[in-house]
Chains A and B, each alone.
Chain A
Amino acid sequence: EAQVTQNPRYLITVTGKKLTVTCSQNMNHEYMSWYRQDPGLGLRQIYYSMNVEVTDKGDVPEGYKVSRKEKRNFPLILESPSPNQTSLYFCASSLQQGPYEKLFFGSGTQLSVL
């Protein structure tokens, strides 16, 4: 089944404890991206990747890191999480970068930083 798999679904952690949210897609998609969803705001893009070893900042990259060593995986790393990073996170992928390709979303990760 074609899908974007995110793990974990729920995560509670404490300030400063490094964490990684994994994202994997099995559709051979080139474009992958991370978003956060906060109440009253739209999904905001954190980072995106156009292909292996090619990543760039979205609108809210501060406090986050990403890597794209393999085409299928695009992990989101929080080196030193803070309470303002408590949010619902989505990973998404599409076949290519470009206007014609719809995004396929993962199931989301609800992160709470205490």
Chain B
Amino acid sequence: ILNVEQSPQSLHVQEGDSTNFTCSFPSSNFYALHWYRWETAKSPEALFVMTLNGDEKKKGRISATLNTKEGYSYLYIKGSQPEDSATYLCAFLYNFNKFYFGSGTKLNVKP
């Protein structure tokens, strides 16, 4: 079983703060790194799929970077809003067909 770690486990910020989380994964046998957003009582929804070292993806106020050589990805949220409150999951794709998920970072944005 591969180890995918996310930090921090939880985060409380004020509306308007910018924040970032980390996903660490094995640097060998890398195929892709996915980020998902999971709101309470809903299903996880894809944010980004990243495949190349140095990849940077952006969707509105949310962006992500990827470093496959050292085995980490950062997710950034600029100017957090209450609707950004959710758990953010990363998933490491190993051997083309097996996904290993981190345990998530739970973000709470206070108005």
A contact set with B: CB distance below 8 Å? 4, 31, 33, 35, 40-45, 48, 50, 56, 58-59, 90, 97-108
The chain B residue with its CB closest to the CB of A105 is: B43
The minimal Cβ–Cβ distance linking A26 to chain B, given in whole angstroms, is 15
User: Known: A42-B89, A43-B89, A99-B31. Contact between A58 and B98, CB under 8 A?
Assistant: yes
Interface size on B, residues (CB 8 A): 26
In the complex, the answer to whether B49 meets A99 with C-beta atoms within 8 Å is: yes
Q: Give the top 5 A-B pairs by smallest Cβ distance, nearest first.
A: A99-B32, A42-B101, A102-B46, A105-B43, A43-B101
Which residues does chain A contribute within 8 Å of B104, judged by CB atoms?
42
Cβ B103 vs Cβ A48 within 8 A: no
Within 8 A of A (CB), among B18-45: 31-32, 34, 36, 42-45
28 contacts between A and B (CB under 8 A): A31-B97, A35-B101, A40-B103, A41-B103, A42-B102, A43-B44, A43-B91, A43-B99, A44-B101, A45-B98, A45-B99, A48-B98, A56-B97, A59-B98, A90-B44, A99-B31, A99-B49, A99-B51, A99-B93, A99-B96, A100-B32, A100-B51, A101-B49, A102-B46, A102-B49, A103-B34, A103-B36, A105-B44
Q: How far is the CA of A35 from the CA of B46 in the complex (A)?
A: 16
Please, how many angstroms separate the alpha-carbon atoms of A33 and B99 in the complex? Answer: 10
Further contacts, 20 of them, CB under 8 A, given A59-B98, A99-B32? A4-B43, A31-B97, A40-B103, A42-B100, A42-B102, A43-B99, A44-B101, A59-B1, A90-B44, A97-B96, A99-B31, A99-B49, A102-B34, A102-B46, A102-B49, A103-B44, A103-B99, A104-B46, A105-B43, A108-B43
- B97 CB contacts on chain A under 8 angstroms: 31, 48, 50, 56, 97
